[in-house]
Chains A and B, each alone.
Chain A
Amino acid sequence: GAGVSQSPRYKVAKRGQDVALRCDPISGHVSLFWYQQALGQGPEFLTYFQNEAQLDKSGLPSDRFFAERPEGSVSTLKIQRTQQEDSAVYLCASSLAAELRNTIYFGEGSWLTVV
């Protein structure tokens, strides 16, 4: 695709509901990142994939958060039993390879509001 695509763009969930956020990286991009951005703050790292392998999940805030990328392309971030503090923009980013010279491209994010 032309850019990193995320869906849904906006999601309102009732507290306790499960949500799934999807990321379509740029075609052929090996590296994929998820970040969480609370209102008025900078993004914070959640997890990193290289192809289908989840190489770093140290930023996931609790065991209610789970991410997968089973075929090395599309990724899904799942949040179980959502709580109000989960309200944030969830940003997905991808890059062509793990090499640092490759630019990281961000999507427009999925805005999650938990009520």
Chain B
Amino acid sequence: AQTVTQSQPEMSVQEAETVTLSCTYDTSENNYYLFWYKQPPSRQMILVIRQEAYKQQNATENRFSVNFQKAAKSFSLKISDSQLGDTAMYFCAFMKGASGSRLTFGEGTQLTVNP
């Protein structure tokens, strides 16, 4: 079974600064995908960024980037130039590389961006 651990229940950052959210995972799979989802108070899960395990290059999406360390099973999210709208719960998630696979989520990190 796969497990995903987020060790930071809460984080805060000043507007325009950079923050890094941590995630580690445990799996015996070699083919898998990793995700960061954002969940605002509305509860809708919004995909922030995804990483294919077979790709060595770290994924980036505008202000969001990841540091994927496959050997260490670490997958951190860096948010640059933080904006007030980034305030939300952030979940790290794992999915096996097979069709119809489920997402396994971590416990989440509540990020607050302060003005």
A positions within 8 Å CB-CB of B: 31, 33, 35, 37, 40-45, 48, 50, 55-56, 59, 89, 91, 93, 98-100, 103-104, 106-109, 111
Contact B105 A43 (CB under 8 A): yes
A89 B100 Cβ-Cβ under 8 A: no
List 6 A-B pairs, minimum CB-CB distance, nearest first: A42-B105, A98-B99, A106-B45, A45-B102, A108-B44, A109-B43
Partner of B44, one of A98, A100, A106: A106
List 12 A–B pairs whose Cβ atoms lie within 8 Å, in order of A's numbering. A35-B103, A42-B91, A42-B107, A43-B105, A56-B102, A98-B100, A99-B99, A100-B33, A100-B97, A100-B99, A106-B46, A108-B44
Distance of A42 Cα from B45 Cα, bound (Å)? 11
The verdict on B104 contacting chain A, using a C-beta distance below 8 Å, is: yes
* With A31-B100, A45-B102, A108-B42: A103-B47 Cβ-Cβ less than 8 Å: yes
Choose among A37, A44, A98, A100 the residue with the greatest number of B CB atoms under 10 Å from its CB. A100
A37-B105 Cα distance, complex, nearest whole Å: 10
CA distance A89 to B101 in the complex (A): 21
Chain B residues with CB under 8 Å of A104's CB are 47, 103
Cα A43 to Cα B43 in complex, Å, equals: 11
Interface size classification for chain B: 20 to 34
Contact residues of B: prevailing secondary structure? loop
B residues less than 8 Å from A103 (CB atoms): 47
Q: Check if B107 sits within 8 Å of A41, measured CB to CB.
A: yes
Q: In the bound complex, do residue A45 and residue B100 qualify as a contact, i.e. CB atoms below 8 Å apart?
A: no
Q: Are B101 and A100 in contact (CB under 8 A)?
A: yes
What 11 new A-B contacts, CB under 8 Å, besides A56-B100, A108-B44?
Answer: A35-B103, A41-B107, A42-B93, A42-B107, A48-B100, A55-B100, A104-B47, A106-B45, A106-B46, A107-B44, A109-B44
- B98-114 vs A, Cβ < 8 Å mask (1 yes, 0 no): 11111111111000000
Q: Does B66 interact with chain A (Cβ within 8 Å)?
A: no
**Using Cβ atoms and an 8 Å threshold, which residues of chain A touch B98?**
100
Q: Mark B42-66, 1 if CB is under 8 A from A, else 0.
A: 1111110000000000000000000
Chain B residues, Cβ within 8 Å of A42: 4, 91, 93, 105-108
